Amino acid sequence: MSTAQSRKRLILELAREHGRVTVEDLAARLTVSPQTIRKDLNDLCDSDQLVRTHGGALLRTGKANVGYDARRLIAAEAKDSIGVRTARLIPDNSSLFINIGTTTEAVARALVDRTDLLVITNNLNVATILRPARGLEVVIVGGVVRHSDGGIVGEAALDMIAQFKVDTAIIGTSAIDADGTLLDYDYREVRVTQAILENARRRILVADSSKVSRRAPVRIAHLSQLDAFVTDGLQDPELRRLCAEAGTEIHETAGGRAGGEQSDAA
């Protein structure tokens, strides 16, 4: 139907629009075989434009994140499962921070029926999700609102966060480096996340498995600084080793391994 060059150009356009593409959808859209699409994806990954995932590929990013609407669609089901699993780790009558991110918003959706929680957030979307929850008290930190995703950043946000000491911090990340470093794109957002971590007794990272394949320029923290990591699955043996050595619990919604790690199947 189409030449390899035109197919790859369209694949990249779709990846930029949606954040990810799948072999099944591309084969149907371009009326070619799944084998042909897999070869196209492999070529695009070899040229460092996409990152291969099970059943498809993600847009490779370095300096700038994928748009908010596209991020919401990436691994949506996995994020919802992560949200439900994380909510089970949060006891009633406790306080927590929830920061910016589509995965942290999934946690908020899983908390709407809870009672006696104090939630402090720099994410307007989280506040909107939790607004109808009569059993929760929601506090929005002040600061500069990012038009792109409703995140609140800046010095005012840092000052307000420093006034709290909460039981649990729920944070997301844009990328997880091979050495266990958590990374993001906006230095102002990273500073707020670091303040959240500094002012919490327990720290939980929520991130789907695609984050292990991505890159971003700004350092947030390290896996060893966290108490728990909730994900759909962690296949990287080195990251599993780092978590085990640091005592960071791994909670996997898609199944886990033996050796003390937690999973929904356990």
Quote the pLDDT of residue 91: 93
Reply yes or no on whether the pLDDT at 263 is more than 60: no
pLDDT tens digits, 231-244: 999 999 999 999 99
Quote the pLDDT of residue 2: 60
Q: What percent of the chain has pLDDT over 70?
A: 87
Question: Which of 162, 160, 173 has its CA nearest to residue 229?
Answer: 173
Q: What is the DSSP string of 151-167?
A: BEESHHHHHHHTT--EE
Reply yes or no on whether the pLDDT at 255 is more than 60: no
Reply yes or no on whether the pLDDT at 257 is more than 50: no
Sheet holding 175-176, edge to edge: 175-176, 181-184, 218-222
Q: What percent of the chain has pLDDT over 90?
A: 63
Domains along the sequence of the chain with CATH = 4-60 (1.10.10.10), 70-263 (3.40.50.1360)
pTM given for the model: 0.76
Quote the pLDDT of residue 216: 85
Reply yes or no on whether the pLDDT at 89 is more than 90: yes
pLDDT tens digits, 171-229: 999 899 999 999 998 899 999 999 999 999 999 999 998 888 677 889 999 999 999 99
pLDDT tens digits, 132-173: 998 899 999 999 998 878 899 999 999 999 999 999 999 999
